[in-house]
Amino acid sequence: MKLVRFGTPGRERPGVWVDDARGKGRPAILDVRAMAFDIADFDPAFFAGGGLERLPGLLADPAPRWVDPDGLRLGPPVARPSKFLCLGQNYAEHAREFGAEPSGVPVVFAKAVSAIQGPFDPIVRPRGARVVDGEAELAFVIGRRARNLDETGAWAAIAGYLVFNDVTDREAQRAGGQWFHGKGADTFAPIGPFLVTADAVPDPHALRIRQRVNGQALQDGSTADMIHRIPHILAHITARMTLEPGDLVATGTPSGIGSARNPPVLLAPGDTIETEVEGLGRQCARVADGD
């Protein structure tokens, strides 16, 4: 299944995207809230309360409530996670393009939850930020409370996968020796368009991952090249902290980012950045300057 949230910012409704719902390849969105009034959103309560297991029954209903997606805004497919954790330097060549050697343990940092936005919303550079670029990544959503997972049981904690662009102000990232300020700005975490449920992703370590700026291909890698794979990432994180239903975890980016190129390819107002992970959809956002 492909979960989406549609509508204006802050007023999104939960839905399920069906590619051929209207025949001839025409998609439609099942309006989940219109069919199950107690499912208010795809939020932590939804995942904790077994909401995913209810969706196939709604799709099989003889009187589904469909919404035409034409002209609709798609928001982030997950609402109000408690945490957004990311991995740094989880692809060897990406680590080296920053002049570092890959770490023997996962490098974990946090992204501000307030940075989360929809896949086609504008990316706004903070005032004075001039060295900004993106990172195409695979991320996943936690489906149940997870603590002290072992690698064998880690898969069961995952609700699904999505596309993530780890937009970063490189100057702010380097200042002070920490990353949060450079990566946590408003609009710097586009996710979606879909949350693709785990059962529909046979092997998350065999997906092509790409980024383009103004049509120029920058990143073109594979999740097969991760240093620390998803079960190990989950075991490492949950040995120290509890992951709650709806939390987001990103798995790092392959090489080729704009700021590491010579000359650099940096995001400027009017630019278009596309981020794509095989089978999970494509983002496309315009860049603007903040006030």
| Residue 114, H or E segment | none
pLDDT for 171: 95
Tokens of 135: 């990172």
Which of 192, 177, 209 has the alpha carbon at shortest distance from 277? 209
Which residue type occupies 163? V
Q: In the prediction, which pLDDT does 111 show?
A: 97
Question: Strand 216-222's sheet: what is its strand order?
Answer: 123-125, 281-289, 272-277, 208-213, 216-222
pLDDT for 106 equals 96
Beta carbons within 10 angstroms of residue 48's beta carbon: 15
Interatomic CA distance for residues 246 and 78, integer angstroms: 7
Q: What is the pLDDT of residue 102?
A: 79
pLDDT in the model for residue 192: 98
Superfamily holding 84-289:
Fumarylacetoacetase-like, C-terminal domain (3.90.850.10)
Q: How far is CA 80 from the centre of its chain?
A: 13
State both tokens at 228: 């620390």
Look at residue 121 in the predicted model and tell me its pLDDT.
98
Q: Does residue 263 have a cis peptide bond before it, meaning omega lies within 30 degrees of 0? A: yes
Q: What is the pLDDT of residue 25?
A: 84
Other beta carbons within 10 angstroms of residue 158's beta carbon come to 21
| Per-residue pLDDT at 71 | 95
Average pLDDT of adjacent 10-residue blocks, the chain of 291 residues = 98 97 89 97 98 97 96 97 96 82 90 98 96 98 98 96 98 89 97 98 98 98 97 98 98 96 96 98 96 77
The domain locations on the chain are: 2-75, 84-289
Contacts (Cβ under 8 Å, ≥6 apart) of 64 = 30, 35, 58
Q: For residue 139, what pLDDT is reported? A: 98
Residue 98's pLDDT is what? Answer: 74
